[in-house]
Amino acid sequence: MLDRLLRPRSIAVIGGGAWCNAVVEQNRKFGFAGNIWPVHPSRERVGGIKAFQSLDDLPAAPDAAFIGVNRNATIQIVRRLQSMQAGGAICFASGFKEATDGASLQEDLLLAAGDMPILGPNCYGALNALDQIALWPDQHGLMPAKSGVAIISQSSNIAINLTMQKRGLPIAYVITIGNQAQQGISDIATTLLNDDRVTALGLYIESFGDIAQFEAMALHASKLGKPIVAYKVGRSEEARRATLTHTASVAGISAGADALMARLGIANAASLAVMIETLKVFHCHGKGESLDIASLSCSGGEAAVMADTAHRAGLAFPPLNTTQQAELARHLSPAVQLVNPLDYHTDIWRNKAALVSVFSAIAKGDAALTIIVLDFPRSDICDADEWAVVVDAIITAADATGKRFAVLASLPENMPEEIATRLIEHRIVPLCDFDQACTAIHLAASISAPVQQCVPAPPPAKTKSILSEASAKVELEKAGLDTPEIQSGLSKDKLNQAASTIGYPVVLKGENIAHKTEVGAVVLNIKGPQELQTAAAEMSAETYLVEEMINHSIAELLIGIVADPAHGFVLTLAAGGTLTELLDDKKSLLLPATACEIDNALKSLKVDQLLNGYRGGKCANRPAIIQAVSRLQQFVIDNQHAIVEVEINPLICTDKRAIVADALIVKGTP
């Protein structure tokens, strides 16, 4: 549907301002080989080209149109373009849904467009470096390319900035989407991914749009073998609140977006720079093979920095085998320690043959990527001839071994663009900055195959109701979770009888009190009637709950599920009890999560050491914990249209049981 718009052979430029002049100029500068047809009712020329007075005067329906007029006129022009069966349009004007008075105008725009594709409104448009097309009203930094990555941005300024990078990343397309009135991220991304010349996809996004469509796009990209990296900014208002449960605040406002990207196999970059570095890895090598790397430098300092930075990023250095060590010893000084990362000294600096042998020997080991640390001198006051020998040696070694190579400059400015471009041509990744590079390598090697069908969350609830702890436990017990014996709604004079029925020791709680521990509304391990009455007197609650005291706890967990309308139901596992916020020990997933995913999430927690028998202690009943989490998520799935939040905190984990010690359920209606 978008092919004709994004790869046109004729472009109509409608309007006469500076923006329209720029569109004509940028296409001529870029080398666009098709027809450019300016349209203006009174100007003879636009951008130096003879203009047509109206769309009706054009020799044919344009494949693409750039509409650079005000919002009201834009609607009229879109209607006319649609009627003449044009291929699509860029709607540059603002003042639509993003403006206080523009919602109805955006609806009018959609009606006018019908089945004709439009980008925007309120967007810059599209750049196609493969076919040298600039539906773009400003300068940009793209160069003609034979292949490269595609970038989609919800911010036009960010898109412009990305085109100006000098890190050697070949960019095939840059598309801005503005209000996404008709064509959203998923629609555009699918079209770009279908272009055989596109190697990977980068996204600068504020919201994912329709989750089902986004899932389908990610799965399509995976089937094509084209990885995706996203820099996600802005969070849904629905996920911002920290309500009566700890879960929303513990998980954080990014939990839903982060969990969605992990589920869909999308690398999650924390900055634009990391996104660019990851795209370079993707373009040259695709998805990373493993987290094992090898590093070479001619400096002990660089080797040390590389070791520390890679360790922080979660990368590993497999040791050199005896064959590698023997080969290296033939070419290197006896003073060189034959270890990974390797400081090979400068004795072979000008010896291309020796450099090729050393680089090749390292690449033939167990590492998935061989990285040569190499900073280039300033070209304005220094001579870089000796560095050219090293570059030639790296290219020769990469060609000879067929292994994956990268060249890493410690500072971005120390990687000249012309060197980066040459390395890219040989599928050698030119990386910039130790931290950014190691993070990108980790991201590229850590993405998994996408999983579809997240459970959709309901719209934000207009009214909410909070179940009492006793009622919540009744519902969870019906769902198959293990709950303590309990009696609720008790007055002080009924407490002793209830405790005797349950059997001491017991727990006393004040009912209808949020965050009971913080206000002293929980007393544990009460061993007798007098102690029970004293605790009740000091609590000052209207009614009380008495329940079985669970002893022999190995660890306490928080299990919470929050409905995030922007991303789905977010399941958070964390250290529980009174240490939840203090430890900041958490992992979030989207529903539904498999038993394996739940187990892996538990393994990522610091508290997992306790579950596994810390310092010779007993191990918790792990199958019971996983079963509790699975049954809680099934409860939410079965009641997905009514659930706002569910939290168990703590889930007491013993060597035999996983018991719901406290629970809260919030239901809502849209």
User: What does the DSSP assignment read for 609-662?
Assistant: HHHT-GGG-PPP-HHHHHHHHHHHHHHHHHTTTTEEEEEEEEEEE-SS-EEE-S
Please count the CA atoms within 13 angstroms of the CA of 89 that sit on its side-chain side.
33
Residue-wise over 8-33: b if at least 16 C-beta within 10 A, else e?
Answer: bbbbbbbbbeebbbbbbbbbeebebe
Q: What is the pLDDT of residue 252?
A: 54
Q: What is the pLDDT of residue 251?
A: 53
Instruction: Give 207's pLDDT tier (boundaries 50, 70, 90).
Output: confident
Q: What is the pLDDT of residue 250?
A: 53
| Topology of the domain covering 485-548 | Dna Ligase; domain 1 (3.30.1490)
Instruction: Give 470's pLDDT tier (boundaries 50, 70, 90).
Output: very high
Instruction: Give 458's pLDDT tier (boundaries 50, 70, 90).
Output: confident
Is residue 240 over pLDDT 70? no
Compute the average pLDDT of residues 198-221.
Answer: 92
- Write the CB contacts of 342 (distance below 8 Å, at least 6 apart in sequence): 294, 295, 296, 297, 303, 320, 328, 336, 362
Q: What is the pLDDT of residue 236?
A: 47
Candidates 181, 166, 232, 165; CA nearest to 202 is 232
Q: What is the pLDDT of residue 266?
A: 96
Compute the average pLDDT of residues 546-566.
Answer: 92
Is residue 210 over pLDDT 90? no
Beta strand spans in 274-410 (E): 293-297, 342-343, 369-373, 405-409
Higher pLDDT, 399 or 384: 399
Could you give the 3-state DSSP secondary structure of residue 393?
Answer: helix
Helix/strand/coil (H/E/C) assignment for every residue in 417-457: HHHHHHHHHCCCEEEECHHHHHHHHHHHHHCCCCCCCCCCC
Compute the average pLDDT of residues 15-28.
Answer: 92
- Rounded CA-CA distance 290/368 in Å is 6
Q: What is the pLDDT of residue 669?
A: 84
Q: What is the pLDDT of residue 244?
A: 42
- CA-angle at 215, arms to 211 and 216, nearest 5°: 120
* Residue type, position 565, single letter: P
pLDDT > 90: what percent of the chain? Answer: 81
- Rounded CA-CA distance 255/607 in Å is 19
Q: What is the pLDDT of residue 239?
A: 40
- For 632-652, how does the pLDDT look when each residue is reduced to its tens digit (9 = 90+)? 999 999 999 999 999 999 999
Give the pair of three-digit tokens for residue 417.
Answer: 């663009």
Assigned superfamily of 3-205? NAD(P)-binding Rossmann-like Domain (3.40.50.720)
Instruction: Give 100's pLDDT tier (boundaries 50, 70, 90).
Output: confident
- Rounded CA-CA distance 253/568 in Å is 13
Is CATH 3.40.50.261 the classification given to domain 288-446?
yes
* Residue type, position 652, single letter: I
Q: What is the pLDDT of residue 206?
A: 84
Instruction: Give 451's pLDDT tier (boundaries 50, 70, 90).
Output: confident
473 phi and psi angles, rounded to 5 deg: -70, -35
- Rounded CA-CA distance 340/272 in Å is 30
Is residue 151 over pLDDT 70? yes
DSSP class of residue 493 equals G
What's the mean pLDDT when you consider all of the chain?
Answer: 92
Compute the average pLDDT of residues 226-247.
Answer: 64
Find out whether 452 and 219 touch, Cβ atoms under 8 Å: yes
Integer angstrom CA distances of residue 637 from 385, 458, 464, 564, 632: 65, 11, 18, 14, 9
- Rounded CA-CA distance 88/85 in Å is 8
Compute the average pLDDT of residues 87-94.
Answer: 95
Q: What is the pLDDT of residue 237?
A: 47
- Write the CB contacts of 224 (distance below 8 Å, at least 6 apart in sequence): 193, 194
74 phi and psi angles, rounded to 5 deg: -60, -45
- Write out the DSSP string of 523-537: EEEE-SHHHHHHHHH
Find out whether 12 and 47 touch, Cβ atoms under 8 Å: no
Could you give the 3-state DSSP secondary structure of residue 18?
Answer: helix
Could you give the 3-state DSSP secondary structure of residue 38?
Answer: strand
Compute the average pLDDT of residues 516-544.
Answer: 87
Higher pLDDT, 641 or 670: 641
Beta strand spans in 549-606 (E): 555-564, 568-575, 586-590
- Rounded CA-CA distance 622/226 in Å is 37
Integer angstrom CA distances of residue 293 from 231, 276, 460, 617: 25, 20, 46, 36
Q: What is the pLDDT of residue 253?
A: 62
Is residue 500 over pLDDT 50? yes
- For 268-294, how does the pLDDT look when each residue is reduced to its tens digit (9 = 90+)? 999 999 999 999 999 999 999 999 999
Compute the average pLDDT of residues 542-554.
Answer: 92
Higher pLDDT, 399 or 580: 399
- Rounded CA-CA distance 589/42 in Å is 59
Compute the average pLDDT of residues 607-617.
Answer: 90
Compute the average pLDDT of residues 515-540.
Answer: 86
Candidates 113, 38, 116; CA nearest to 74 is 113
Instruction: Give 49's pLDDT tier (boundaries 50, 70, 90).
Output: very high
- For 343-369, how does the pLDDT look when each residue is reduced to its tens digit (9 = 90+)? 999 899 999 999 999 999 999 999 999
Q: What is the pLDDT of residue 460?
A: 80
Find out whether 659 and 651 touch, Cβ atoms under 8 Å: yes
Q: What is the pLDDT of residue 455?
A: 83
For the chain, the structural domain boundaries read 3-205, 288-446, 485-548, 555-669
Sign of CA dihedral 309, 311, 314, 320: positive
Instruction: Give 557's pLDDT tier (boundaries 50, 70, 90).
Output: very high
Q: What is the pLDDT of residue 278?
A: 98
Instruction: Give 579's pLDDT tier (boundaries 50, 70, 90).
Output: low
CA 657 to chain centre: 36
- Rounded CA-CA distance 461/644 in Å is 7
Examine domains 3-205 and 485-548 and report if their fold is the same: no
Assigned superfamily of 555-669? ATP-grasp fold, B domain (3.30.470.20)
- Rounded CA-CA distance 138/20 in Å is 9
**H or E element, residue 148:** strand 148-153
Find out whether 661 and 651 touch, Cβ atoms under 8 Å: yes
Q: What is the pLDDT of residue 241?
A: 43
Q: How far apart are the first and last CA of the chain?
A: 35
Compute the average pLDDT of residues 407-424.
Answer: 97
